[in-house]
Amino acid sequence: MTELAVRLAGVTKKFGTHTAVSNFDLEIPRGTIVGLLGPNGSGKTTMIRMIMAILLPDRGTVELFGGFPDFARRSRVGYLPEERGVYEKMKVLEQLVFLGELRGLVRREAQSRAGQWLERLELSEWSGKKIQELSKGMQQKVQFIGTVLHDPDMLILDEPFSGLDPINQEVLEAIVREERERGKTILFSTHLMEQAERLCERVCLISRSHKVLDGDLKKLKRRERSGAVAVEFQGDAGWLTRLGIHDIEVVDDAHHIPVTNRVGHDSILAAAVREGVTLRRFEVLEPTLREIFVRHAGEQSEEPAMAAMGGAR
């Protein structure tokens, strides 16, 4: 049986008449990278706060490492909230050592680890500066270091890449992958669908306080295939016309061909071989996460759902 880092069963959380999370079930296996995706107001941050016992559910159960998220279990988590918080008057290294000691590290070990992380994130020269002297992006990197400094078993990162330039986003992505290779569990929320596709092994899509779907990303994408192929070839497209295919969309030199009961993948490929077509690409198309979300969001139309993906909570 797969060991779980997080388990939510029938979880509901209300604020007055507003239901933030409704009858939510979720299981996060240990040692995986899981993306929590959804527009503003969908309930992602509320759910993260319940996992960390900052909020308690009105109904249902929340388990962290097999039990109630008490202090001991929460100490095994590195939590980076969406609302950034730093002590602006403290110097960078002093703040990191302070955070390390709060997490149980002795001062010497906290100093050593902080120094290594500052070097890794190219902040060494700022170690003696006050936090308020750093840019917002630098401050965010300092807070990230504070999150991973005590070498937690799990990272919970709420919009960790927001506000970072592309280079620093890549740096943090690389660290997330390294932590996964070391056996850590990573749960992060993001509005950046493409980034989630690059990083995640599993995803959980949320809309209007309800889970839309969750599971292994590769399996979901295979299951959600639209039944179309992308074909790149040399020459004209007469062979497709002779095959009886007319509803074709050309995207970046690739012919996107809808698959029907009459014309399937095998018949398209066989026709190309029969006609002596030189193929450069033949690929069964899988939907993007964005397309999957829109497909399953039900009554929520594409435009407002995607517009809300600018700062999902």
> pLDDT, tens digit, for every residue of 101-159?
999 999 999 999 999 999 999 999 999 999 999 988 899 999 999 999 999 999 999 98
Whether residue 94 is found in the same domain as residue 234 = no
Angle (CA) 299-160-133 rounded to 5° is 135
- Output the CA–CA distances (angstroms, integers) from residue 82 to 19, 67, 110, 311, in the order listed: 20, 25, 24, 10
Whether residue 80 is found in the same domain as residue 170 = yes
Whether residue 128 is found in the same domain as residue 212 = yes
Whether residue 179 is found in the same domain as residue 276 = no
Closest CA to 187 of 210, 171, 206: 206
> pLDDT, tens digit, for every residue of 85-106?
788 889 999 999 999 999 999 9
Residue 313 lies in a domain: no
Both structure tokens of 54: 């900052």
Whether residue 39 is found in the same domain as residue 153 = yes
The pLDDT value recorded for residue 262 is: 66
Whether residue 123 is found in the same domain as residue 77 = yes
Residue 291 lies in a domain: no
CATH code of 33's domain: 3.40.50.300
Whether residue 12 is found in the same domain as residue 37 = yes
Residue 42 lies in a domain: yes
What's the domain count of the chain?
Answer: 2
| Domain ranges, residue 62 | 4-222
Residue 118 lies in a domain: yes
* Burial status of residue 126 (CB atoms within 10 A of its CB: 0-12, 13-18, 19 or more): buried
Residue 139 lies in a domain: yes
Q: How confident is the model at residue 175 (pLDDT cuts 50, 70, 90)?
A: very high
